[in-house]
């Protein structure tokens, strides 16, 4: 190992159960989806240590983890939770949208015509 208390980022992501496999972790890191202390990580072999703050961009969410320990194995979820402290921002529940995300209002009759309206238009054209 390069240093005591340091671990490859792909192994740590796998052990902490942030991703399902090491190969997915490597792809995530190489794709620019992981930052350590604000710096984008470029290789799966980059090392993380205790105290590092990782920002992990997944499909539909952003995780912010503070690394507490390097992992020894991919164990049960309770063991994985001891590797990090979750400092992610609170997400809004799905049934509760933020006030600025209201659906836009549109006037009746604007937009695409209904099937009934299309048939009436076709009758007027003589089709």
Which domains does the chain carry? Answer: 6-93 (3.10.290.10)
How do the pLDDT tens digits run along the chain, 127 residues long?
456 789 999 999 999 999 999 999 999 999 999 999 999 999 999 999 999 999 999 988 899 999 999 999 999 999 999 999 999 888 766 666 566 666 666 677 677 888 988 898 899 888 7
Closest among 24, 29, 85 to 56, alpha carbons compared: 29
Q: What is the pTM of this model?
A: 0.70
How many angstroms separate the CA atoms of 24 and 98, rounded?
Answer: 32
């Amino acid at each position: 190992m390069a240093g005591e208390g340091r671990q490859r980022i792909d192994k740590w992501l796998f052990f902490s159960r942030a991703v399902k496999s090491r190969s997915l972790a490597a792809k995530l890191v190489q794709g620019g989806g992981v930052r350590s202390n604000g710096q984008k990580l470029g290789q799966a072999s980059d090392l993380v240590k205790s105290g590092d703050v990782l920002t992990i961009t997944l499909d539909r969410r952003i995780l912010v983890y503070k690394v507490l320990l390097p992992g020894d194995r991919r164990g049960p979820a309770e063991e994985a939770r001891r590797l990090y402290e979750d400092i992610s921002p609170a997400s809004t529940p799905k049934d509760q949208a933020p006030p600025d995300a209201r659906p836009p209002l549109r006037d009746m009759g604007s937009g695409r015509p209904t099937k009934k309206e299309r048939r009436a238009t076709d009758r007027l054209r003589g089709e």
